Amino acid sequence: MIITRTPLRISLGGGGTDLPSFYEQAGGFIIAAAISRYIYIGINRMFEPGYFLKYSGVENVRALHEVKHPIFREVLSRHDGQGHIEIASLADVPAGTGLGSSGAFTVGLLKAMYEHKRQHPSAEALAQEACDIEINVLRRAVGKQDQYIAAVGGLTCFDFRPDGSVEIKPLVLSTDTLIDLESNLLMFFTGYSRDADRVLSDQHERSLCAETSMMQNLQFVKQLGLAARAALESGDTRQYAALMREHWAHKQARSCGITSGPINDLHALGMANGALGGKLVGAGGGGYLLFYAEDPVRLRRAMGRAGLNELRFRFDHDGAVVMARD
């Protein structure tokens, strides 16, 4: 039995600039933070032939081409086409909630399969392969940040270059700033989930066409991400909160599917009750609202009265790891 643990993530700046349709033209920049909420993958060798896969569904098939789950099918075709294998996945949060679960799942599954073969690729190599599977093979309209932050962990800056390469640098924070962020970044589930591919496909198509309004929007968001890095590395968390407000305004302008009336009402409720900045995490359309709070107690009370559940977290500094091997 092999068990891997791979972190989910929040975006702290530059979200949306990691899609190839944008960074291949203008280069992208994102600050992402791995959090202490995880995807777990367990692998066990079976005596019987075939593939027994357990996720939100269950598949028990004899041949690889019968596997319906596209990520399972592609990873298994690369790393175990012989069968006799049982794989189960568990998650701390539902899919479609903006925390990068698909990218974390792909990285965690690859980590487990390599461990199964007693091979140990680097975190960057895992991220590259996960991106190749999701973006190039499965043709999903997603970016690269989820796979990279899941693999490397920490609070990390990523430069996505036009040639497809990725420069990885840690966000350099003081201990006081790190504690400040863990204490004052609060996340609440809106009750809505969504398909990120659908939300991002509009941005992808308009970026491919180099539509002026979309490219200008994403260029500005990239600059906001760079400004967020400067604010956080200098310890100015109030300035970071102000940048969150600007980011949310520009994110909403990107596509009509990013927000809704009920989500806007919840965002306004948070901003009126102790938050200095806030935005939806991920592509939009639902999932979690992330706030930077000046008064966390007041914010928690207000969101609790509105029926929203808080997802408490700390930062994860390990990335994808093997938890057990028997």
Contact criterion met (CB below 8 Å) for 102 and 141: no
Phi, psi of 178 (to 5 degrees): -60, -45
Q: What is the mean pLDDT of the chain?
A: 91
Segment 288-316 mean pLDDT: 97
Q: What is the largest CA-CA distance in the chain?
A: 59
Contact criterion met (CB below 8 Å) for 111 and 119: no
pLDDT reported for residue 251: 78
254 to 17, 157, 219, 258: CA distances (angstroms): 12, 23, 12, 8
Query: Angle at Cα 225 formed by Cα 15 and Cα 147, nearest 5°?
Result: 40
Where in the chain are the domains? 2-172+316-325, 175-305
Model confidence at 139: pLDDT above 70: yes
Q: Who has greater pLDDT, 317 or 248?
A: 317
CB neighbours of residue 256 within 10 Å:
9
Give per-residue pLDDT as tens, 250-285: 877 766 667 778 889 999 999 999 999 999 887 566
pLDDT reported for residue 317: 97
pLDDT reported for residue 141: 85
Give per-residue pLDDT as tens, 46-84: 988 999 999 999 999 999 999 999 999 999 999 986 789
CA 6 to chain centre: 11
CATH number of 175-305: 3.30.70.890
Dihedral in degrees, nearest 10, Cα atoms 30, 32, 38, 42:
50
pLDDT reported for residue 221: 93
- Report the distance separating Cα 23 and Cα 59, nearest Å: 37
Segment 197-220 mean pLDDT: 70
- Band of the pLDDT at 315, cuts 50, 70, 90? very high
pTM of the predicted model as reported, rounded to 2 decimal places: 0.93
Mention every residue, 6+ apart, whose C-beta is less than 8 A from residue 10.
Answer: 32, 33, 35, 99, 185, 187, 281, 290
* Helix 261-271 / helix 296-305 crossing angle, nearest 10 deg: 150
Asked which of 2-11, 86-95, 156-165, 198-207 is least confident by mean pLDDT, the reply is 198-207
pLDDT reported for residue 172: 98
Mention every residue, 6+ apart, whose C-beta is less than 8 A from residue 229.
Answer: 13, 31, 157, 171
Q: Kind and range of the H or E element at 276?
A: strand 275-280
N- to C-terminal Cα separation, the chain: 5
* Side-chain-side CA neighbours of residue 202 (13 Å): 16
Q: Which CATH class is domain 2-172+316-325?
A: alpha beta
pLDDT reported for residue 111: 98
Model confidence at 199: pLDDT above 60: no
Burial of 221 (0-12, 13-18, 19+ CB in 10 A): buried
Give per-residue pLDDT as tens, 12-52: 999 989 999 899 999 999 999 999 999 999 999 998 899 99
Model confidence at 217: pLDDT above 70: yes
pLDDT reported for residue 98: 87
Model confidence at 202: pLDDT above 60: no
Segment 164-187 mean pLDDT: 98
- Report the distance separating Cα 265 and Cα 259, nearest Å: 10
